[in-house]
A and B are shown apart, each in its own frame.
Chain A
Amino acid sequence: MSAREDWWYDEAAGPLVRPYAMVRGRTRPNAPDLHLVTQVRASSFASDQTSLTVEHREIMALCARPLSVAEVAAYLDVPLIVVKVLLSDLIERGDVIVQNSSPQIPDRDLLQAVLDGVRGI
């Protein structure tokens, strides 16, 4: 076996190391119900950010306007599960507000609004 093969990580494993370091190995967010389209937004009562990591602060900056969990993950360029863990930290601190429901099948009024909106683009 060559020295290269002995190496405990390879190119395929590389990207996994940093995202999981970011969340200190946690793979389950504390906040439930963070779905792909769940809307999150930085609270106007955000607490002192000095104890936050760089990634948490990046999320706070991104969420100055409402965004979906999927958008935050895409802009931060980290896997969804990592963003869910980081977001749940911020939600627990009260720094981020969140849509408080699972995805619901839209009712008629909502569908009509979406229909009008799509026609108007």
Chain B
Amino acid sequence: MVFVGSDGQLTVPTAVKIVIAGGFGTGKTTMVGSVSEIPPLKTEELLTEAGVHVDDLAGIEGKDTTTVALDFGRITINTKVVLYLFGTPGQNRFWFMWDELATGAIGAVVLVDTRRLDSSFPSIDFFEHRGIPFVVAVNCFDGAQLYTVDEVRHALDLDDGIPVVLCDARDRESSKAVLVGLIQHSMNRLEAAV
């Protein structure tokens, strides 16, 4: 087996990832697409036996197999580092996939639609329980800002240390600002832990 370096000439970059989470229809793929250097790609993982017993298969009992679709994008940071952005699968029965996505991630963006705040609760719980740094980004559809950052923070019962920002997932600069905020939050967390 040939590992990095043993080729003598070629190397491979270090890969890092950020998870874009949130309920169904909160704009996850939109955000991936607005900052990715390639159109979002889709890959499929078959629901494995390992996943079956930990998943709630209610409603799909009649199906022998199913697939989990993952949307993702890429940002080449430099010749040595590449960043991947993964949208989480929307359905809750695919929690086992979240673990692979979250392992080693810089952190997560939890996208929130204020019309359906409760759809973001499972994502927030997931990252809180695993101690993974995350920021909450309120996706202001059509420029509609119905609530203030403080109102959202209160409604989601978030700790003061969790950044909450307003964004427009369709807008590249706005999505960039969310990612920058997350990376800074991860750096602060890292320094606080030392």
Instruction: State which residues 68-100 of B face A: CB under 8 Å.
Output: 70, 72, 74-78, 80-84, 86, 100
Question: Once bound together, how far apart are the Cα atoms of A115 and B82, in whole Å?
Answer: 12
Number of interface residues of B (CB under 8 A): 56
Question: Once bound together, how far apart are the Cα atoms of A6 and B135, in whole Å?
Answer: 52
At the interface, yes or no: A74 with Cβ under 8 Å from chain B?
A: yes
User: What 1/0 mask marks residues of chain B from 17 to 50 whose CB sits below 8 Å from any chain A CB?
Assistant: 1000000000000000001010001111110100
A115 and B180: CB pair below 8 A? yes
Instruction: State which residues 89-121 of A face B: CB under 8 Å.
Output: 91-92, 94, 96-100, 102-108, 110-119, 121
B104 and A102: CB pair below 8 A? yes
A-B contact count (CB 8 A): 157
| Min CB–CB distance A32 → chain B (angstroms) | 10
Q: Find B41's partner among A71, A107, A113 (CB 8 Å cutoff).
A: A71
A99 and B15: CB pair below 8 A? yes
Question: Once bound together, how far apart are the Cα atoms of A36 and B183, in whole Å?
Answer: 20
Question: Once bound together, how far apart are the Cα atoms of A115 and B190, in whole Å?
Answer: 14
At the interface, yes or no: A73 with Cβ under 8 Å from chain B?
A: yes
Question: Once bound together, how far apart are the Cα atoms of A98 and B11, in whole Å?
Answer: 9
CB-nearest residue of chain A to B66: A12
B111 contacts which chain A residues (CB < 8 A)?
Answer: none
SS class of chain B's interface: helix, strand, loop or mixed? mixed
B190 contacts which chain A residues (CB < 8 A)?
Answer: 107-108, 111
Question: Once bound together, how far apart are the Cα atoms of A81 and B44, in whole Å?
Answer: 9
A35 and B42: CB pair below 8 A? no
B15 and A117: CB pair below 8 A? no
B15 and A79: CB pair below 8 A? no
At the interface, yes or no: B12 with Cβ under 8 Å from chain A?
A: yes
Instruction: State which residues 36-84 of A face B: CB under 8 Å.
Output: 36-41, 43-45, 66, 68, 70-71, 73-75, 79-81
A22 contacts which chain B residues (CB < 8 A)?
Answer: none
User: What 1/0 mask marks residues of chain B from 165 to 186 whose CB sits below 8 Å from any chain A CB?
Assistant: 0000000000010011001101
At the interface, yes or no: B106 with Cβ under 8 Å from chain A?
A: yes
Question: Once bound together, how far apart are the Cα atoms of A29 and B5, in whole Å?
Answer: 22
Chain B interface residues (CB < 8 Å from chain A): 1-4, 6-10, 12-17, 35, 37, 41-46, 48, 63-65, 67, 70, 72, 74-78, 80-84, 86, 100-101, 103-106, 176, 179-180, 183-184, 186-187, 190-191
Can you list 15 residue pairs at the A/B interface with Cβ under 8 Å?
Answer: A37-B84, A39-B13, A39-B14, A44-B9, A79-B43, A79-B67, A91-B2, A106-B106, A107-B190, A108-B190, A110-B16, A113-B81, A114-B77, A114-B106, A119-B180
